Amino acid sequence: MNVPDQPLDLLVVAPHPDDAEISVGGTILHCRDQGMRVGVLELTDGEPTPRGTPERRAQETAAATKVLDLTWRGNLQLPNRRLEHTLDARHRLAGAFRLLRPQIILAPYWEDVHPDHVAASAMVDAARFWSKLSRSDIPGEPFWPEKVYYFWSIHLRIHPKPSFVRDISAFIDRKMDAVRCYESQMIEGRSTDHPTVLDDIRDRARYWGWTIGRPFGEPFASREDIGITDFRHLV
């Protein structure tokens, strides 16, 4: 795994290539626009899928990376579809956190129907804790990612109360551009009847935007309460 020359500000942990774009593409773009150093770490290569190949998926991912203007992107090469929260997988993920040193982690929400997402969510929690351990054999220096926020996936149609919604209005078109890079997943062989899977993604962002009186938004959950220092920071 190549290592960025400086610590990241934000790291998105995604089970498969395209999850980051679908769930937090707008947030990534906004953070990059704010000058934050943003990375995405996929846990698996996401293949096989009906129309994907590892090569094609990698090309699509590279294209999306460009659209998102990511500071860093990597893949932990854990087994797709068979992702399990083992001690070994936790160890590898904790090692990645130590190399990337993100202040904030975005992780999949803990309730989902895709077993890889459920495993990924638990793995992030545990690896974040391991990342700070001293006197361990995890590579790199002990490091505590300050915050972890959870994003909703598209596999389960739930909507728990978010801890906050992020305004992504200025970035919805580029978010959709990034999503569309995954042609093998999002477009090819998919029904073109309204609403398409792309419509679903855009329309949900529209809804979350509505909840905060903005055109588009992306929701996040936090286990802990949210602290603020200035009312004017709230939309």
Residues within window 101-120 making contact with a second copy, judged by CB under 8 A: 104, 111, 113-115, 118
CA distance 124 to 149: 11
CA distance 185 to 177: 14
Judged by CB under 8 A, the chain residues 177 through 206 that form the site for a second copy are: 194-195, 200, 203-204, 206
Which of 166, 174, 175, 180 binds a second copy (CB under 8 A)? It is 166
- Please identify, using beta-carbon distances, which residue of 63 and 212 lies nearer to a second copy: 212
**Residue 61: both structure tokens together:** 């991912």
CA distance 146 to 77: 25
Number of residues that bind a second copy (CB under 8 A): 72
Assess 31 for contact with a second copy (CB under 8 A).
yes
Report the 3 state secondary structure along 56-70.
HHHHHHHHHHHHHCC
Which of 22, 4, 15 shows the shortest CA–CA distance to 96? 4
Which of 5, 55, 157, 191 binds a second copy (CB under 8 A)? It is 157
Assess 10 for contact with a second copy (CB under 8 A).
yes
Start-to-end CA distance of the chain, whole Å, equals: 38
CA distance 205 to 167: 9
The nearest distance, CB 116 to a second copy, in angstroms, is 9
Q: Which stretch binds a second copy (CB under 8 A): 17-25, 55-63, 69-77, 148-156?
A: 148-156
**Residue 51: both structure tokens together:** 């129309």
Assess 87 for contact with a second copy (CB under 8 A).
yes
Could you say which DSSP state residue 171 is in? G
The nearest distance, CB 97 to a second copy, in angstroms, is 13
- Whether the CB-CB separation of 107 and 148 falls below 8 Å is answered with yes
- Please identify, using beta-carbon distances, which residue of 139 and 215 lies nearer to a second copy: 215
Interface pattern 33-62 for a second copy (x via CB under 8 A):
-x-x-----------xxx------------
- Please identify, using beta-carbon distances, which residue of 58 and 110 lies nearer to a second copy: 110
Q: Label the pairing between strands 147-151 and 104-108.
A: parallel
Which of 97, 109, 130, 182 binds a second copy (CB under 8 A)? It is 130
